Amino acid sequence: MAAVTLFDPTPEPDSTGPDSTGPDSTGPDSTGPDSTGPDSTAPDSGGPDSGGPDSVGLDSGAPVRERLGHEPRRVSLVRLSALIAQATGAMGRLAVEGEVHKPQTGKTGRQWFTLRDRVSQISVSVPSARQSRCRIVAGERVSVTGRLEWVNDWGQLQLVAEEVVPVGEGAIAAMIVEARRRLAADGLLARPRKPMPVLPLTIGVVCGHEAAVRADIESVVAARFGGYPMTFWETTVSGPGAVDNIVTALRELDADPHVEVIILARGGGDATALLPFSDEAVCRAVCASRTPVVAAIGHDGDKPLVDEVADLRCGTPSLAAGAVVPDRATLQARLDGALTSVASGAGGRVGAATSALAGIDRHRSAIAGLDRAATRLARAQAARALVSPEVALERGATRLARIDWRSPSATRLIAAQRALAAGRAQADALSPGRVLERGYAVVRRAGDGTVVRQPAQVSAGEALELSVAGGRLNAIVSQQEGLEPDDH
């Protein structure tokens, strides 16, 4: 991992204006750090004060070809941009320290800020997908891990950040406090811890590439249970990219069905070296793991944030190995004790049963059993005599003989006939035909067939149709007379 400081020998870095490094400084009046106006005194401008090793004074009388030794290389602007992008891309990932200046957020969620020190500065771009790995606070000294990128649209070089972490104990402590507050708000600090298995199938270990931590764990395993199944996942545990590597290792070991406990181990170090184990992403990965996780970070005095969310916290990797690796001699002693206890208990029960059998007189016991069986048989015969099947059959036949199966049917039939006759008489009485046979008629208007109920419904000379018992009659209204109230 390269660690560089971008150094610009220009003595006055702020002479370009504070607003020159933002993402929108693309106008013609931009005076950002890449400005090459006529008054620019950048070290490559070729001015008379340029102190570069290849600088040539403009007042020399030698021709340009003599001064440079060859014709200048002519390239298009597109080609020049491609050459710059190629050169910056070849530098790979960089880790740069500086102070955060003027952070801002764009409409798409991308963030920008200027990373500067005493004599130099560069624009830093933070994609929205990487902001969870970046702490950006104005005025705070940070370490930015990322890659250089040449932006054609702006004509500007920027550092695209993958990770921004604070530098200094005060800033680190503030970041840990914020992460602890968010974890506590989600209830992860007070979550129930998963129990440790007594005899895990395989023990997974996440550690660095240094040999000391692995050697400590292996020495404890050899002393307690030589040859115990272990799976070591060596990865970067400090510096840029450590958080992503640790999270990946935890997830891979958790997905292994043979791994039943995971040790997260690292040797001692300062606050910056142990910072990945206080990262919120690592803590959440530990909480999300279905496999119990043991935290063994640094020495006994080191307490990163992951200690507060792990299922078990041990002061050193050696103590963690001793906590999860069973002691073979202890296991054998426990098994021997259990076998002895089982054998003793079984032997006692067998002896008691043997003694009980030895005290039994088998001849007398057989005779006593026969006597008890004969007594039960006699009781059964007496009970059968009291309730004989022949007696029960006779009683049933007597009850059946007393039943007259025809009488209820005849009674129900007569009642049904009477009800039917009554219903028929009522239907005949309510039939319109029966009413007409008694001399009544139904009067309708000949035009629309409306039944006439009142004299006022018709007028003189109107045709009517009368329905009587024998047929229909046609009539003409000659006179209307209404009934007096007393005539109803």
Whether residue 1 is found in the same domain as residue 144: yes
User: For residue 255, is pLDDT > 90?
Assistant: yes
Q: Which of 229-233, 279-283, 300-304, 355-359 has the lowest mean pLDDT?
A: 300-304
**213 in the same domain as 137:** no
- For residue range 29-54, list pLDDT tens digits in order: 333 333 333 333 333 333 333 333 34
- At residue 252, the pLDDT reads 94
Look at 115-124, 213-222, 275-284 and tell me which has the smallest mean pLDDT: 115-124
Residue 24 has pLDDT above 60, yes or no: no
Sheet order of strands, 259-266 included: 230-234, 202-207, 259-266, 293-297, 312-313
pLDDT confidence of residue 253? 95
In a domain, 253, yes or no: yes
Asked if the structure places residue 41 within a domain, the reply is: no
Per-residue model confidence (pLDDT) at position 327:
86
Indicate if the pLDDT at residue 353 is higher than 50: yes
What band does 451 get if pLDDT is binned at 50, 70 and 90? confident
Among 274, 301, 329, where does a domain finish? Answer: 329
Please give the structure tokens belonging to residue 71: 């014709």
Average pLDDT over residues 403-424: 77
Query: Does 108 fall in a domain?
Result: yes
Residue 145 lies in a domain: yes
* Mean pLDDT score, 417-432: 83
pLDDT band at 195 (very low <50, low <70, confident <90, very high): very high
pLDDT at res. 68 = 52
Q: Are residue 202 and residue 324 in the same domain, yes or no? A: yes
Both 129 and 89 in one domain: the answer is yes
| pLDDT given for residue 483 in this prediction | 61
pLDDT of residue 57: 38
Does 480 map to a domain? yes
> CA-CA distance, 271 to 1, in Å (whole number)?
20
387 pLDDT tier (thresholds 50, 70, 90): low
Give me the CATH number covering residue 114: 2.40.50.140
**Lowest mean per-residue pLDDT among 21-30, 140-149, 178-187:** 21-30
Q: What is the pLDDT of residue 295?
A: 92
Please tell me whether residues 157 and 189 are part of one structural domain: no
Share of the chain above pLDDT 70, in %: 80
Q: How many domains does the chain have?
A: 3
CB-CB contact of 320 with 206 (8 Å): no
Q: Is residue 293 part of a domain?
A: yes
Confidence of residue 3 (pLDDT cuts 50, 70, 90): very low
In the prediction, which pLDDT does 205 show? 94
Listed in sequence order, the residues at least 6 apart from 51 whose beta carbon sits closer than 8 Å to its beta carbon are: 9, 43
212 and 284 share one domain: yes
Q: Which domain holds residue 8?
A: 1-14+77-166
Average pLDDT score over residue span 188-211 = 89
Show the tokens assigned to 372: 């008890």
Q: What mean pLDDT, rounded, does the chain reach? A: 77
Q: Say yes or no: 260 and 319 in one domain.
A: yes
Rounded to an integer, the average pLDDT of 224-233 is: 91
| Residue 310 covered by a domain | yes
Residue 145, strand partner residues:
95, 163
Residues 212, 151: one domain?
Answer: no
Local confidence band at 147 (pLDDT 50, 70, 90 cut-offs): confident
Q: Quote the pLDDT of residue 302.
A: 67
Q: Domain boundary residue among 166, 187, 210?
A: 166
Length of the chain: 488
What confidence score (pLDDT) does residue 267 get?
83
Contact 214, 207 (CB under 8 A): yes
Q: Is the pLDDT of residue 301 over 70?
A: no
Look at residue 100 and tell me whether its pLDDT is greater than 50.
Answer: yes
Task: Identify whether 120 is part of a domain.
Answer: yes
Residues 314 and 208 occupy one common structural domain: yes
Residue ending a domain, choose from 294, 329, 364: 329
Tokens at 152, concatenated: 């054609």
Q: CATH code at 217?
A: 3.40.50.10550
Does one domain contain both 201 and 155?
A: no
**pLDDT recorded at residue 51:** 37
218 shares a domain with 307: yes
Q: Residue 264's pLDDT band (boundaries 50, 70, 90)?
A: very high
**Whether residue 7 sits in one domain with residue 152:** yes
CA dihedral in degrees (348, 349, 351, 355; nearest 10)? 130
